[in-house]
Amino acid sequence: MTEQERISFLRQELAKHNYNYYVKDAPTISDFEFDKLLEELISLEKKHPELFDASSPSQRVGGEITKDFTTVQHKTRMMSLGNTYSKEEIEDFINRIKKSIETPVEFICELKYDGVAISIIYKNGILHQAITRGDGTQGDDITANVKTIRSIPLKLQGDFPDELEIRGEIFMTLDGFKKLNEDRVEAGFETFANPRNSASGTLKMQDSAIVAKRPLDSFLYFVIAPEAGFSSHQQSLEAATKWGFKVPQAKNNFVRLARDADEIQAFIDSWEHKRHDLPFEIDGIVIKVNDYKTQRLLGETAKSPRWAIAYKYKAEQVQTKLLSVSYQVGRTGAITPVANLQPVLLAGTTVKRASLHNADQIALHDLYINDQVYLEKGGEIIPKIVGVNLAERPADAFKIEYITNCPECGTPLVREEGEAKHFCPNELGCPPQQKGKIEHFISRKAMNIDGLGAETVETFFSKNLIKNYADLYNLKAEELMQLEGFQEKSVQNILAGLEASEQIPFDRVLYALGIRFVGETVAKKLARHYKSLDALMAATKDELIEVDEIGEKIATSVIQFFNQPENKDLIARMKTTGVQLEMQLEEAISNKLEGKKIVVSGVFENFERNDLKKLIEQNGGINVGSVSGKTDFVLAGEGMGPSKLAKAEKLGVSIVSEAEFVKMIGL
């Protein structure tokens, strides 16, 4: 088998396994086997850029950067649905239809997925374009990001029309949302409010490689394909299933045919409580006329179709007593107020606490201790206070006064302009911050030190064995063996884990340092740009802002971190530990771009953006994120950002095409 034949075979195999796993939920190989096949395909495709295929499974990993999302007109308007909240209103909806249509009408009931509406266009079976709902008339082109969602086919199967449009919802799974928030807490960021907002924000991210890592899924259920000749909505769903789309199935009771209000209500009632057991959010049921001819006869209003309506479930709400407010200190010093509640059952779980987020939220609801508060689960997951029963405010209620000093170390709190939260500025002397930084340092995505966990850090900290992460590397077996519960094997595991951490690459070490706003992605960009911690420490704010994707907020935080004398001492100690404080240099190809500052913008025919950036570095060049007078040239692909183009033209910076660049470096 030639390498070209192997590429073709791997693409077919991976597409099949992807469909089995993400659409049919019936995998036939392990994740490990799938990953190995994908790695082989990516490797072969890099060797043969001339065989590039936009619908290859390798394109799922992302990497394309979109600075400005192009606005696109919808060929057919994406309308919103009218809402109803009772059986009586559903009966009114049916009666209005019966007045217009003499023949019996069949309805189809579907779950109303709480996600982001999307329209996807396929041409000759290949995913061509994905557009957000926007205002219904026009939306944003987010094709690069949608291609990373594995339940959405890049290439169709079976007998499909030459051109079709399919619409549906993109959503974030509940388990994925929970894990995403846990990771954000670990990185020192605010948590997302609910899965829907998380999905929406993710789809508008500029880096599709980050989107690829987010737990997005989809259901597609509205087909626009006139040439297919479908007579009903149900018929179009059956065809879409055969083409490879993830479509709501009757076997899961996600779809049901109904003839009258009683059958519709039975479907609504069946999901009233079961919806809490779903792995994703729904907020109601959609009722549609099944027959397409009848839909056309009924028509639409200026805002919504007359042949469809949405039944919205009321959010489950309970009342309970606000007993007290406690304040948590995160590793970045951020203060989070937490409501301690009289235990109450809500959406299947007992709730005792709810985040109050910040002082503004407390003021918004005018909360008093001993108030009777209304509680809901935001996104069916996170308990939140949504109001106060003022009629039941007791005589002993008293207004919550937000704390002015850190509850752990007593330091006066600060609140910077534009920040929602208060902060404890005693970064190096506040115990939760100190312990939090160490816990972040040893975490899986940072130094991943085996044998160490939060409880072990607490023990070492309380025994004054460590005060910061540099102290970890001074731990001795004899002193650890004296601690209760620490045997020789566990001690050796800890010390071996610390020794192994010396091989963790520089970008993860940089992330582990716990610089505010420097998460995994930012750490990688800074590490690849500056190559060493010393070079990063010597950078000015203006130089940092020139780095791809680094803004003023991050640059300021980096400068502040390295300017603190205590952090300078900490870094000096880290230099004696053996951990990687510089990138392992990749083999240079040439010095043809020596010292040249280059901006990469747009989409390219034969290369991924990250591959081009790697080539720039291997040939001695420097990747920068924004155009300035110091930029040597812009490597421009299709759809180059208009602001970059305008600035380059204004400053007289050269625009170099992909072909010119390839010739420049002698490929």
Residue-wise pLDDT tens digits, 215-224: 999 999 999 9
Pair of tokens at residue 177: 């949302």
pTM > 0.75: yes or no: no
On average, the pLDDT of the chain sits at 88
348 — pLDDT class (breaks 50, 70, 90): low
Q: Which CATH number is associated with domain 506-574? A: 1.10.150.20
Segment 556-569, tens digit of pLDDT: 999 999 999 999 99
Other residues' Cβ atoms within 10 Å of the Cβ of residue 645: 17
pLDDT of residue 564: 92
Local confidence band at 128 (pLDDT 50, 70, 90 cut-offs): very high
Cα dist from 227 to 93, 95, 162, whole Å: 30, 32, 9
Q: What does the pLDDT look like over 398-431, one tens digit per residue?
A: 999 999 999 999 999 999 887 889 999 998 899 9
Task: For the domain covering 431-503, report its CATH number.
Answer: 1.10.150.20
Stretch 206-211: mean pLDDT, rounded? 84
Closest CA to 536 of 302, 544, 317: 544
pLDDT average, residue stretch 65-92: 85
Fold category of 318-399 in CATH: OB fold (Dihydrolipoamide Acetyltransferase, E2P) (2.40.50)
pLDDT score at 366 = 93
109 has a pLDDT exceeding 80:
yes
Report the alpha-carbon distance of residue 217 to residue 574 in Å, rounded.
42
Confidence category of residue 22, pLDDT binned at 50, 70, 90: low
Q: Which CATH superfamily includes the segment(s) 3-61? A: Helix hairpin bin (1.10.287.610)
State the Cα–Cα distance between residues 128 and 384, nearest whole angstrom. 41
Catalytic status, residue 112: yes
Distances from the Cα of 541 to the Cαs of 172, 510, 536, 552, in angstroms? 36, 18, 11, 8
* CATH class as words, domain 71-312: alpha beta
**What's phi and psi for 87, nearest 5 deg?**
-65, -35
Using 50, 70 and 90 to split pLDDT, how confident is the model at 205?
confident
Q: pLDDT higher for 194 or 172? A: 172
Higher pLDDT among residues 34 and 531, named by residue: 531
> What is the distance between the alpha carbons of residues 605 and 197, in angstroms, rounded to a whole number?
33
Is pLDDT above 70 for 299? yes
Residue 613 confidence (pLDDT): 85
* pLDDT of res. 25: 65
Average pLDDT score over residue span 426-453: 91
> Domain 597-665, what fold?
Rossmann fold (3.40.50)
User: Is residue 23 scored above 80 in pLDDT?
Assistant: no
Residue 66 banded pLDDT, cuts 50, 70, 90: low
Q: d(Cα 468, Cα 569) in Å, to the nearest integer?
A: 11
pLDDT band at 62 (very low <50, low <70, confident <90, very high): low
Alpha helices in 414-551 (DSSP H): 431-442, 454-462, 477-481, 488-500, 506-512, 520-530, 533-538, 541-546
The arithmetic mean of pLDDT across residues 650-655, rounded, is 90
Distance CA 530, CA 527 (A): 5
Contact (CB, 8 A) for 137 and 73: yes
- The answer to whether the CB of 312 falls within 8 A of the CB of 284 is yes
pLDDT of residue 470: 95
Catalytic residue among 16, 112, 293, 613: 112
CATH fold match for the domains 431-503 and 506-574: yes
- pLDDT of res. 192: 77
Per-residue model confidence (pLDDT) at position 63: 56
What is the pLDDT, as a whole number, of residue 561? 94
Residue 572 has a pLDDT of 94
Mean pLDDT computed over 307-327: 91
Give residue limits of the domains in the chain: 3-61, 71-312, 318-399, 431-503, 506-574, 597-665
- Can you tell me the mean pLDDT for 3-17? 86
* pLDDT above 90 as % of the chain: 52
pLDDT of residue 645: 84
Report whether pLDDT(578) > 80. Answer: yes
What per-residue confidence (pLDDT) applies to 541? 93
Predicted pLDDT at 31: 66
Rounded to an integer, what distance in angstroms lies between the CA atom of residue 413 and that of residue 402? 11
| Sheet with 372-378, side-by-side order of all strands | 349-355, 335-346, 318-329, 372-378, 382-388
**pLDDT number for residue 182:** 81
Give the mean model confidence (pLDDT) for residues 468-472.
95
